[in-house]
Amino acid sequence: MPRKKIISDAIREQVVAIVDQFNEENALPPQADPMRQVLQLLGLSSSAKDGAQRRIGAYAPRFRGAYLYLDRVGYDGRPSPICRLKWSGAMDNWEFAIYKYSKNGYDPDEWMFSGSGEVDGTVIGAMRAGNEAYPV
């Protein structure tokens, strides 16, 4: 019997729309990548979505159980962990945990970081806090 998702598909769709809008307003355009241009000329890579995901500073949401992980694309084109949100049943009441590189994990008890004032229980507040805590 399939397990019921803790975060429903409707909530996931709302989160993805929020993240996409935030990325549109805040992420930098991708750097010119000669290899990607060659692949596009050869017809091996032409996806606009691929380009959108590679925007520098763009967040990429991941869902696992009750958690939403917000990773952000850096200059190398790879996503890095920024923060984790735990679903509490409302779109404006997510539980926040910042990623601590010194501990290689998420710490819900850490509140002494640049951007902690942006945390307000929302996905947007979490991304703003992440941008201040870990500037691109």
pTM: predicted TM-score of the whole model, two decimal places: 0.82
CA torsion 132→89→53→78, rounded to 10°? Answer: 60
In a domain, 39, yes or no: no
In a domain, 19, yes or no: yes
In a domain, 90, yes or no: yes
Number of structural domains the chain divides into: 1
The 8-class DSSP code of residue 93 comes to -
What pLDDT does 14 receive? 98
User: What is the residue range of 67's domain?
Assistant: 9-29+56-133
pLDDT band at 68 (very low <50, low <70, confident <90, very high): very high
pLDDT tens, residue by residue, 74-110: 877 889 999 999 999 999 999 999 999 999 999 999 9
In a domain, 82, yes or no: yes
Mean per-residue pLDDT over the chain, rounded: 88
pLDDT band at 111 (very low <50, low <70, confident <90, very high): very high
Alpha-carbon gap, residue 42 to 1, rounded angstroms? 45
Alpha-carbon gap, residue 129 to 123, rounded angstroms? 10
Which residue has better confidence, 35 or 124? 124
In a domain, 101, yes or no: yes
Burial 64-86 (b: 16+ CB within 10 A, else e): eeebbbbbbbeeeeebebbbbbb
Average pLDDT value for residue range 31-44:
62
